[in-house]
Amino acid sequence: MHAKRYRLVVFDWDGTLMDSTAVIASSIQAAARDLGYPVPDIEIAKHVIGLGLNDALQIAIPQLPASEYRRMADRYRVHFLAKDPATPLFQGAAQLLEELSERGHLLAVATGKSSAGLARSLKATGMQDLFSATRCADQTASKPAPDMLTELMDELEVTCDVTVMIGDTTHDLQMAAHAGVDAVAITHGAHSRSELQALNPLTCVDSIRDLGIWLRSNA
């Protein structure tokens, strides 16, 4: 087995490991509908996935005043939580994480979810023991700021040259670039292949299976 190029592998959660893009987008749309605001089209609702919730709402529903963010967020959570327990990981994701851990990589999560939301998903999927550290949008600056990655690297005492970020959105790739970290894009989530490739990731894969193949040869 070749020497590890990347000591730390950081994953986005929604749309990267968990097949939750449609659930999140439809929950944003339903929350807007509930409160009588213009309903964003599905592409806009998908585009904001990965951002912190307030940032996402500001872009998806620009007519929404800041005084309404909390009420809109509450409606979003009602719809999201109704569907969340049935939301699966992408096929092969759990096995890939276990394989990477067994190979000695440190694993972490950088996500636009709240810390409570990520904790709930980790418990539901049984993945909580595989990750050495996590950062969420209610703990530090939201993507595409570099803070999630820089804080994870500081906590785990890992440098940027041996860290790789894996995500399904331009927000993930921009965060990695701002942190000086290599990035890999996966196309089965929120943003299109053309959007992702425009930011020059190391590679752009279409599935967890293809991601595993790339990581075995390159990580």
- Which residues form the catalytic set? 12, 14
Distance between CA atoms of residues 42 and 47, nearest Å: 8
Neighbours of 38 (CB within 10 A): 12
Q: ∠ CA(26), CA(30), CA(34), 5° rounding?
A: 175
Sign of CA dihedral 145, 196, 62, 112: negative
3-state secondary structure of 120: helix
Q: What is the 3-state secondary structure (H, E, C) of 147-200?
A: HHHHHHHHHHCCCHHHEEEEECCHHHHHHHHHHCCEEEEECCCCCCHHHHHCCC
Closest by CA to 182, choosing from 197, 168, 209, 200, is 200
Show the tokens assigned to 183: 């990035």
